[in-house]
Structure 1
């Protein structure tokens, strides 16, 4: 790894310019590098239409499909959901000619569908993924790609056998912010990484998974038996169907929904395979609505020294009772500075006391010190990189990467192996919380120790 200031300056084309990390000619507000966006579209067969089937037309599945259809030459042919109202909405949104069904296997049987988007509750991700790959479909599966750690290797095996493209939907991974942070870390902008932290907060009923329940919700409009077919048999419960994230049979709690985004970004930026130790604690502090998962959760993780990065620690926090109306960030801290990473913005902060290893600059600094009271030239200690106006966002980039890989027989970063390594430590937080103990994880072989 490149960890020193001289290497950083040289990589940025600034070696010997001054003690500045970023010279004054690059104003404190700088634009993110857009080279990666151009790279996405090279070699794409513009006249080839990719035909899509959506499985799970709730909030995220619908949002995914809207974004997917913004990419040129894509078409939605079919929608599957277990609630009549969503199938009706799909026809209103995308046209009465859309094929609708309550059985996802009807979509997998169709030869005219190339790709399926899986936006179902978490407990169906694994089975539908495996069935779709076996049916010869490319798969975009919402995060986390698994409901339990035990399911990961089955998806990986099916994916390798299929020869298809499988992408996990942690869309922030493909952001300009993550790409810039990765570049800056590799260039030694913050020195040697030793700590990272992430925070995800919300303060609204919808943000705490208090999703609206339709007035017509009933066993007549919802195929409840299919919903619970692979889990505990229970009488129809509209709360469990429409607010499924609150229940362990179907969801993966705060860590599976939100920590997994932070793991995905962190692992991309650092080239990490994951932590070796996981610990979590938290509690149900406010949303006492029958949910089975905490609304405040803290996670701690130990990352070992590897060829990709030095040893460092990670702390993650999630709060659904945040009185400040919520915030989200990922911070990387090193020996010479830190970075606050957002999907469209990176704030680089440098340590004013970090010494230069350039002998010329060091000598000039000593000369200046010898003249009593004379001030020095000082570089900005904080530099902000922002996406150019018109940037379509991480969600669009993620789907662009996915479709580009399909059209060019390529690969994506967030494949099932990457997705499993991001999901596993998140889901192990739930185990640690419920079992009140540290859990050891082997990120190389992807198994609990």
Structure 2
């Protein structure tokens, strides 16, 4: 690189420092339903920016830390954006690094030590997709090294770890976006618009589920028969946990174990909280209760495969007090699926698959009468009263119902839009949809659901101060 190129690149790197964290936030959508014939197709999000080009010195140079299925999937979408290049990858399993070179090019430098990536001056941003127990350490180290951070959900494994990420992001003026992509999804943004416009009246209930019915969905990930300490850095994987012999199940199926993961709450509830908070503008619940159990996948895991949660949301400027119920079932014999329903006094908003449906009902003007258990004198007296107040018609008019559905355009990717938000924050200081504060407010009630389950007690949470109480 010439001296002029180096100078230009230093100038670009300074731009990253102006990125500031933003306000909103939400999960990715999977699955689909048949669309009604009159469904309204939503305008695409960032797709219109795909043709924009950037000079060599304005390239965002990425490094991947954690090159498993999610990490490589993130990189595939990230590299669909113009002006983005992968320069390095880190993982603790050699074969994943080989796969990165196969997929993304032999120019990609690889390592098993993430710290080598953070010392590189040619890395502008990192995508962190490691097991949960490494999230906070790598994210803080990356921010303190001057790197922008795309951090997979949940933001942290333990609630208290979130404060360090928020502090590091703000002290270093670096953007952090958490990877629950529904916060960027045009379907969820449409739901937010409908909610804010008062289309369902006063919100009183939200219910949502994220069920699965497959071995992969239950984290039964493939274990290569040749995996050993010859090609896996087991000591690094363990981090500061007690030393134990190499266990390929724990390495490749880490979500099944509390030492490394966060169970169904951290993996899936967090998506639901992200979407709910985006739509309602909420900062979170104040009371958290959960229950569940290990109902089907008896494979040695120490986390439940079924969990339900109940949450009390206080009244705020953004919403009235409402109740939330959540469910994850990894053995849903109906086939699994995902749904989110916002119920108000005048209608409901339902998000399912790649569409959002508004259903509105209007109460009749006349309430009707329930007088037939009364004697004739009282019945006649009430009829006179009723007709004077409502008119002569005794039966209430039928409830009026309106339904309209909005759908994402074919081929739409919320993950693409999520990365677009991240890259704009790096280049221009654009406000992030799911910054570190939003990310912690989505992760904390999910992690508190685990506390409630394992401690068998209700958890109190201050969503404004982001503190257990």
Range of TM-score over shorter length: 0.7 to 0.9
How far has the Cα of 1:354 moved from its partner?
A: 6.3
Task: Provide the rounded CA distance (Å) in 1 between the counterparts of 2:308 and 2:407.
Answer: 29
1: distance between equivalents of 2:260 and 2:414?
A: 27
Equivalent-residue separation in structure 2 for 1:78 and 1:124 (angstroms): 19
CA–CA distance in 2 between the matches of 1:311 and 1:227? 43
Map of 1:63 onto structure 2: 73
Given the alignment, which residue of 153, 171, 174 partners 1:143?
153
CA distance, structure 2, for counterparts of residue 315 and residue 377 of structure 1 = 30
Equivalences, count: 409
Structure 1 SS opposite 2:273: helix
SS at match of 2:126: strand
SS at match of 1:381: strand
The alpha carbon displacement at 1:335 in A equals: 0.5
The equivalent of 2:247 in structure 1 is 237
Question: Match for 2:406 among 385, 393, 396?
Answer: 385
Equivalent of 2:137, from 106, 127, 144? 127
The question of 1:96 aligning with 2:106 is answered yes
User: For 1:347-371, what per-residue CA distance to the aligned partner results, in whole angstroms no more than 9, with x for missing partners?
Assistant: 1111242669xxxxxxxxx9xx999
Aligned residue for 1:116, secondary structure, equals strand
1:425 aligned partner: 445
Q: For the residues of structure 2 that align with 1:309 and 1:43, how far apart are their CA atoms?
A: 39
Superposed displacement of residue 380, structure 1: 5.8
The answer on 1:263 being equivalent to 2:283 is no
Cα 1:159–1:28 change in 2 (3 A) is same
Show the counterpart of 1:30: 40
Runs of 5+ in structure 2 lacking a partner?
1-35, 367-386
For residues 81-110 of structure 1, give each alpha carbon's deviation from its aligned partner in whole angstroms, at most 9, with x where no partner exists.
000110111111111221000000011010
Deviations 1:366-385 (A, max 9, x none): 9xx9999xxx9997622111
**Distance apart, 1:65 and its partner CA:** 0.6
Match of 1:196 among 186, 199, 206: 206
Q: Deviations over 1:16-70 (max 9, x none)?
A: xxxxxxxxxx984212244x547x8599773321100000000111111101001
Are 1:408 and 2:408 an aligned pair?
no
1:316-327 correspondence to structure 2 within 5 Å? 316-327=326-337
- Tell me whether 1:297 sits opposite 2:307 in the alignment: yes
Task: Compute the displacement of 1:323 (Å).
Answer: 0.3
Which of 169, 173, 196 in structure 1 is aligned with 2:179? 169
User: Out of 189, 214, 218, which is 1:208 matched to?
Assistant: 218
CA distance in 2, matches of 1:306, 1:343: 29
1:99–1:278 CA distance, 2 compared to 1 (3 A): same
| 8 Å Cα contact 1:176-1:343 kept in structure 2 | no
Pair 1:44–1:97, CA change in 2 (3 A)? closer
Tell whether the 8 Å contact from 1:140 to 1:167 is kept in structure 2 after alignment: yes
Structure 1 residues without counterparts, runs of 5 or longer: 1-25, 357-365
* TM-score normalised according to structure 1 size: 0.87
Deviations 1:162-182 (A, max 9, x none): 101110000111101110000
CA distance in 2, matches of 1:94, 1:42: 19
Distance in structure 2 (CA, Å) of the matches to 1:435 and 1:394: 36
Q: Of the candidates 408, 416, 419, which is equivalent to residue 396 of structure 1? A: 416
Do the aligned partners of residues 196 and 219 (structure 1) sit closer, same or farther apart at CA in structure 2, a change above 3 Å counting? same
TM-score by length of 2: 0.83
Contact map agreement 1:336 1:354 (CA 8 A) in 2: no
Q: Superposition pairs for residues 241-256 of structure 1, below 5 Å? A: 241-256=251-266
Using the alignment, how far apart are the partners of 2:54 and 2:195 within structure 1?
A: 35
Q: Name the residue aligned to 2:343.
A: 333
* Aligned counterparts of 1:212 and 1:149: Cα–Cα separation in 2: 30
1:309 paired with 2:319, answer yes
User: Which segment drifts farther, 202-211 or 226-235?
Assistant: 226-235
Deviation digits for residues 98-123 of structure 1 (CA, Å, limit 9, x no counterpart): 10000000110100010100000000
